[in-house]
Amino acid sequence: PRARIEFDPRFTVAEVPERLFGSFVEHLGRCVYTGIYEPEHPTANEDGLRQDVLDLIRELGPTMVRYPGGNFVSGYRWEDGVGPKADRPRRLDLAWGVTETNQFGLGEFMKFCRTVGVEPNMAVNLGTRGLQEALDVLEYANHPGGTYWSDLRRSHGDEEPYGIKLWCLGNEMDGPWQIGQKTAHEYGRTADQVARSMRYIDPELDLVACGSSSRAMPEFGAWEAEVLAQSYESVDYISAHAYYHPREGDFVSFMASAQDMELFIDGVIATADAVGAKLKSDKKINISFDEWNVWYQTAPTGERPEPWAVAPRQLEDVYSAMDAVVFGSLLITLLRRCDRVTAACLAQLVNVIAPIMTEPGGAAWRQTTFFPFAEASKFGRGTVLNVNASAPGIDTAKFGEVSALHSVAVANEDGSTTVFAVNRDLESPLTLEIDASSLPGVGEVTCSTLTDADPHAKNTFEDQTRVAPVANGSVAVKDGTITVELPAMSWNTIRIA
């Protein structure tokens, strides 16, 4: 089968927002402890950060990291995590049934962000707490000095304010599992009040209201409408969260998971714009897709932690080649819709449904999903172009007929062009023709391809490099047309110099 795409650098979707390549560090399992932070590890720096992990994070290329949760934040007292470590209390973490030692907190997180060079994205607790504590942590973080909370920060060794610009107003407040779950009306009012008061301290903030925890939530749509009816003028983003995994062995539908993400984005934008229209507002609310990934939401037997354990193994999904291709397709959707999805976070960064895995005291390695993210973050910068595509269809039980080809083109800042392309077909390769006649010229063209003869092949502790992208030798250029063979079930990064 053959597919063809064309684009023109004059016809654009949007500039790729810096915040599109965010990730997420939650106090969950071993994401923080023995993930990014392990003072006893042979590679630890003076802040207790694992430098083997820092190196992999730099290679992965996140631009922003959300913290400290997730469900965790809805029971979190941020003050527990600042000041002398010996004085920090151990607490029950009700979200994940474990003990939190608080040896890592806001100050350590800010050191981590500075060391890696990422923007912090901080969430406040609107589950067990509310307006006052949100204002307290903002004053601690962003006020220069001369007040109780800002001077406390300075007494903890951080003279300069952190200048955290992006804040999440709670987490998944629609979810029955959430500590302090709220109705849309209760949450919308709270979000509005918290947002308006936070802006009295710092008018430059960007604020994210909680949208639905997934498109499948019973209140999806109605939740966004009510929350934004209360808070439209005081927030900047509405959040979206989505996790995908194959259901009942239906891998064909799983390969088309990005269809659901697109419908999710369409629905949230339509709802937000409808609220704005009713309010006669010329402001637009954009989406912070601040949790997305493949996640097999079933704990493998034998992995349930002891009650109240410290940093046990939780949600340590091991990803396959197929998972990485679906993951790449989700990245393609985020790029294609980056006119309205202007922030996004891969959930999560290390060990917990993560692209990077570690062993305590031992190695750190790349999961299969590491590669599409690293390539998208490296080469998906610049301006997303409108792409016209023709490709064969695939019948899926879940989404009806979908295109076998899922692709996006980005005009890079250095004058090159990158096409990311997924072949969703599990059986057939696809011959992709790229009409490059609108480009001023075609220099060297390369293609990096991730696939595997075994769709379920994984990178594990025992075999850390089983799956990785390889150079695709099939690229040909003739009369302004680039041709490349996309193997069945593959993620491809085509670079046109």
3-state DSSP: the chain helix, strand, coil percent, rounded to 5?
A: 30, 30, 45
Cα 450 from chain centroid? 20
Between residues 140 and 327, which has the closer beta carbon with respect to ligand AHR?
327
Between residues 314 and 472, which has the closer beta carbon with respect to ligand AHR?
314
Between residues 71 and 342, which has the closer beta carbon with respect to ligand AHR?
71
From 79, 108, 172, 375, active-site residue? 172
Is 224 tagged catalytic? no
Q: Is 212 in the site for ligand AHR (CB under 6 A)?
A: no
Between residues 232 and 295, which has the closer beta carbon with respect to ligand AHR?
295
Between residues 75 and 246, which has the closer beta carbon with respect to ligand AHR?
75
- Give me the amino acid identity at 13: V
Between residues 100 and 172, which has the closer beta carbon with respect to ligand AHR?
172
Q: Is 347 in the site for ligand AHR (CB under 6 A)?
A: yes
* Binding residue for ligand AHR, selected from 348, 369, 403, 492, defined by CB under 6 A: 348
* Least Cβ distance, residue 315 to ligand AHR (angstroms): 7
Tokens of 28: 């969950």
* Least Cβ distance, residue 26 to ligand AHR (angstroms): 5
CB 94 within 8 A of CB 158: no
Count of residues near ligand AHR by CB under 6 A: 10
From 6, 38, 291, 375, active-site residue? 291
CA distance linking residue 237 with residue 164, whole number of Å: 16
Between residues 177 and 308, which has the closer beta carbon with respect to ligand AHR?
177
* Least Cβ distance, residue 98 to ligand AHR (angstroms): 13
CB 242 within 8 A of CB 264: yes
Is 172 tagged catalytic? yes
Show the binding pattern over residues 278-297: x = contacts ligand AHR (CB under 6 A), - = does not: -------------x------
Show the binding pattern over residues 305-344: x = contacts ligand AHR (CB under 6 A), - = does not: ----------------------------------------
* Least Cβ distance, residue 215 to ligand AHR (angstroms): 14
Q: Taking phi first (over 0 means left), then psi (-120 to 50 degrees means alpha), and beta for anything else, what does residue 351 get?
A: left
* Residue numbers 359-418 binding ligand AHR by CB under 6 A: none
CA distance linking residue 371 with residue 361, whole number of Å: 24
* Least Cβ distance, residue 178 to ligand AHR (angstroms): 8
Show the binding pattern over residues 32-71: x = contacts ligand AHR (CB under 6 A), - = does not: -------------------------------------xxx
Show the binding pattern over residues 111-150: x = contacts ligand AHR (CB under 6 A), - = does not: ----------------------------------------
Find the DSSP H helices in 413-476. Answer: none
* Binding residue for ligand AHR, selected from 172, 192, 317, 425, defined by CB under 6 A: 172
Q: Is 26 in the site for ligand AHR (CB under 6 A)?
A: yes
Between residues 103 and 213, which has the closer beta carbon with respect to ligand AHR?
213
Q: Is 108 in the site for ligand AHR (CB under 6 A)?
A: no
Cβ atoms < 10 Å from Cβ of 78: 22
Task: Name the nearest CA neighbour of 170 among 241, 109, 219.
Answer: 241
* Residue numbers 70-89 binding ligand AHR by CB under 6 A: 70-71
171-174-179-180 Cα dihedral, nearest 10 degrees: 110
* Binding residue for ligand AHR, selected from 171, 212, 342, 412, defined by CB under 6 A: 171
Q: Which residue is nearest to ligand AHR (CB)?
A: 70
Q: Is 236 in the site for ligand AHR (CB under 6 A)?
A: no
Residues that bind ligand AHR (CB under 6 A): 26, 69-71, 171-172, 213, 291, 347-348
Catalytic residues: 172, 291
